[in-house]
Structure 1
Amino acid sequence: MNKQTFKLGLAGLAIAVNVLAGSIVSSLKIPLLFLDAIGTIFIAVLLGPFWALGVGIVTNLVMGVTSGPTAIPFGLVNGGIGLVVGLIARKYGFGWGSAIISGIIISIVAPLIGTPISIAMFGGLTGGGIDIFVLWLSQMGQSIFAAAFIPRITSNFVDKILSCILVLLLIKQLPATLLLKMGYSTKERNDQSYGA
């Protein structure tokens, strides 16, 4: 199997992981979690920002078909997550510090992209677990932007930092030969990515 075919297969697997994890969390309406970008973050670290952009967008297209069309416009959020994490990982590696910092940054970026989408297309409510908080904040007198943004940024801090840490732990378990096949050097893995 050539390198491009392997990368395409890995991207397809990441999309499936995103869709499955996101669908489970969405159907259970678990507050503070989405888990629909773990595959995107994984691809961002191993294959780079542009592969991750594609994985993020395609994930939401698939979720739009399997779970309902409300997921489709949020492909911009998932793709944005991939770009940001991919750029950070390329520049700084992906160790504990950069994983947590990546999680914090995408915790802010995701709702900055997603809140205007949710307001413009759905009045701030998307049928997810955080809708109860959006409604509560609206009833308390918050503007629609604040009511939609505050629960999203709160849940994103939990979800995105957790997602980045889970990806880091997964990558640390992968064999060096597999990482090399993806173009991820073991020197980078040992010296830069997994330092303190």
Structure 2
Amino acid sequence: MNRTRNLTFVAMGIVINIVFGTVVSMLKIPLLFLDTIGTVFVAAILGPWYGAVAGGLTNIIQSILTNPKSMPFALVNIAIGLIVGYICKKREFDLKTSFMTGMILAVVAPLIGTPIAIYIFGGITGDGNDIIFTWLLTSGKTIFSAAFIPRITGNIVDKIATCIFVSFLLKRLPKEYTRKQGNI
């Protein structure tokens, strides 16, 4: 693919992340964020570095436009782009691979995001996890456990759904827009 097409895909990935994430947030759908669909999509098509760029720029742009709290979590979105991109270099992003990738992301994302949420925001980030976090904290859990448990719970549903959705989307794209997956 040429550079212009690649950058167009990155821009589309950023828009997809912001639009889906904003809509799900506004609708207050539990256990879903859908704010990394574009990152996973770009990483699966173009590889880890383009995926990381799409993920990182999503959080930077989101923090400027609507939510300054998004900026520190760019590390999570960058990691998602890298992980999906490297997996897609080795394997086709079919249903089985997308499910396993979703499981990996469901653990990695909160492992990176929980320390950010605790260190920068004291665990309170202004989303639905705050209620569970407060309840767990007051019931005697450590701050890490109280912040991690609701994050991993939501990420299991969100990241698996995201990866499976992208795998179905990739199968429907014209071949000229996809690179050959499963090869380095």
Is the shorter-chain TM-score for this pair beyond 0.5, marking a shared fold?
yes
Counterparts of 1:44 and 1:153, CA distance in 2: 22
Alignment of 1:1-196 (within 5 A): 3-179=2-178, 184-185=179-180, 188=181
Q: Which amino acid aligns with 1:84?
A: I
Counterparts of 1:85 and 1:59, CA distance in 2: 16
Secondary structure in 2 aligned to 1:36? coil
Counterparts of 1:136 and 1:44, CA distance in 2: 36
Shift of residue 178 of structure 1? 2.5
Q: Which amino acid aligns with 2:18?
A: V
Secondary structure in 1 aligned to 2:75? helix
Shift of residue 29 of structure 1? 3.1
List runs of 5+ in structure 1 lacking aligned partners. none
RMSD of aligned alpha carbons: 1.4
Moved over 4 A (4+): none
Taking structure 2 as the reference length, the TM-score comes to 0.95
Shift of residue 31 of structure 1? 2.3
Shift of residue 166 of structure 1? 0.4
**Seq. identity, %:** 47
Counterparts of 2:138 and 2:28, CA distance in 1: 21
Higher mean C-alpha deviation, range 37-46 or range 137-146 = 137-146
Counterparts of 2:176 and 2:71, CA distance in 1: 36
Secondary structure in 2 aligned to 1:75? helix
Higher mean C-alpha deviation, range 57-66 or range 19-28 = 19-28
List runs of 5+ in structure 2 lacking aligned partners. none
Counterparts of 2:139 and 2:28, CA distance in 1: 22
Higher mean C-alpha deviation, range 113-122 or range 25-34 = 25-34
Counterparts of 1:76 and 1:144, CA distance in 2: 21
CA contact (8 A) 1:21 1:35 kept: yes
Secondary structure in 1 aligned to 2:141? coil
Aligned positions, number: 183
Q: Which amino acid aligns with 2:147?
A: A
Q: Which amino acid aligns with 2:60?
A: L
Shift of residue 150 of structure 1? 0.4
